[in-house]
Structure 1
Amino acid sequence: MSQRAVFPKGVTADDVPLKLSPAVMSNGHLFVTGMTGSATDGTMPQDPATQFRSAFDKIAACLAGADLDFGHVVEMTSYHIKIAENFDTFSTVHAAYVKAPYPAWTAVEVAGLRRPGALVEIRVIARAPS
């Protein structure tokens, strides 16, 4: 089984304080760690749309680290705080990133996320071209 860690451009394992890879390429699939919408300085924006764009931008950077983009995403799971309050905004931001054929998607409401103030955590699986 072939497996390797994938990092966004300019990020190394030393930049990730937790013992995890932002993404892992394994047998032609890229598994991207759940991303929240924190800013690059670690703060959590109060504006939901800003958080959602930040999370998708982080995912895009991981995909780019494997020479992929959102057109390669086959599955997405999003974990939401207060899903009813923010889902329309999330859907609008989401539509600006995903590409046809659209990925399978499961949206789940949760009681809490690891990052204080986070409204969403998004994980994706992408398929590399053969």
Structure 2
Amino acid sequence: MTTTKRKAIVPKGMEFVRDDIGYAPAVLVGNTLYISGQIGRNAERQLVEDRRQQFIQCFDNMKAVLEEAGMTFSHVVEVTSYHTDMRDLPLYMEIRDLYFGDCLPAWTAIGAASLCGIPGYFLEVKAIAVKT
């Protein structure tokens, strides 16, 4: 029986996720990176309250995870976004396009009553990236 080699990806400043909450911001298996849902929490672990800035923070957090794994947004092949208000989709797409440019991934958007069980979070984004 073979065991798949996997590596937790934990960027600097996200160590608390592994230690306090008990999960990795991402897991690398072979050339595939599975990125956990990223939320609009800054380096001080504080909710970014402004909606636009919170969306930017989600993608900045994802960028940190990708960079720690030696990847960029061009490696992302699939994204799932969770929204507490689906009317935010135009804002989401505007911010997403700033990070992805012309390398758009497959995408699924899901409405959610709440995120993280904490009021004030509007967006969570998880992704899969592949380094070829």
TM over 0.5: yes
Flag the 1:107–1:7 CA change in 2: closer, same or farther, 3 A.
Answer: same
Q: Verify the 8 A CA contact 1:78 1:123 in the aligned structure 2.
A: yes
Aligned to 1:113: 115
Aligned to 2:29: 26
Aligned to 1:97: 99
1:48 aligns with 2:51: yes
Q: Verify the 8 A CA contact 1:77 1:123 in the aligned structure 2.
A: yes
Q: Verify the 8 A CA contact 1:48 1:89 in the aligned structure 2.
A: no
Paired positions, count: 128
Q: More helix by proportion, 1 or 2? A: 2
Superposition deviation, residue 10 in structure 1: 5.4
Whole-Å Cα distance in 1 between the matches of residues 26 and 17 of structure 2? 15
Say what the alpha-carbon RMSD is for the aligned residues: 1.7
Deviation track 1:17-51 (CA, whole Å, cap 9, x = no partner) reads 11101110012100011011112222222211100
Whole-Å Cα distance in 1 between the matches of residues 15 and 53 of structure 2? 25
Superposition deviation, residue 14 in structure 1: 7.9
**Unmatched 5+ residue regions in structure 2?**
none
Flag the 1:16–1:99 CA change in 2: closer, same or farther, 3 A.
Answer: farther
**Unmatched 5+ residue regions in structure 1?**
none
Aligned to 1:60: 63
Deviation track 1:32-88 (CA, whole Å, cap 9, x = no partner) reads 11011112222222211100000000000000011000000000000001111x222
Q: Verify the 8 A CA contact 2:66 2:72 in the aligned structure 1.
A: yes
Identity, % of aligned positions:
31
Aligned to 2:130: 127
